Amino acid sequence: MHESMMARALELAETALKVGEVPVGAVIYKKSGEIVGEGYNFVISSNDPTAHAEIVALRKAAQHQKSARLDGLMMAVTLEPCAMCAQAISHAKIAELRFGAYDVKSGGVQNGARIYDHKTCHHKPDVYGGLMEESCSKILQSFFREKR
C-alpha cells in the first residue's frame, strides 16, 4: 500500500513539474488506504512560501477530517521534508512519514535540522526514508538540470 501511495505522490510531483514548480508531491492516507489529503508544491504559482506539498496535503487532510489533529494517519512525500514541513507534520500528529529522496541540503528529518531528534519536538512520527528513492530523485534531478 505504501508504494501505491508514493506512486500517487509521484503523479502529483509530475503535476507540479508541468506547472513549473519544484516537483514534489505528498499524500496523506489512512491505514485502510483511503486518501484524505494530497498536494504538490505550489509556492511559485501562489506566491506563498509555505505552499509546500506537505503543507497543502496537511491542510486538505485537516479539512477532510474536520480536525487539526491527524492522529493515526500516514504521509508519503517524494522528498525529505524541510524543517518547516517536519514541524507541521509533528504538530498534526501524523503517525508515519515515508519519503522518497533524501535532501542532504535542506532536509529537516534525517538531514539538516533533524527536527525529530530534538527533545522539544512536539510529536515524532515513525519515519521511513528511501521509499522509491530512485524514481523520486530522478524527477528532481531532471528538473534542476533543466534550470541550470
Catalytic residue positions?
Answer: 54
Coil/strand/helix, residue 79? strand
83-92 and 53-65 helices cross at what angle (nearest 10)?
Answer: 10
What sections of the chain are H helices per DSSP? 2-18, 43-46, 53-65, 83-92, 133-147
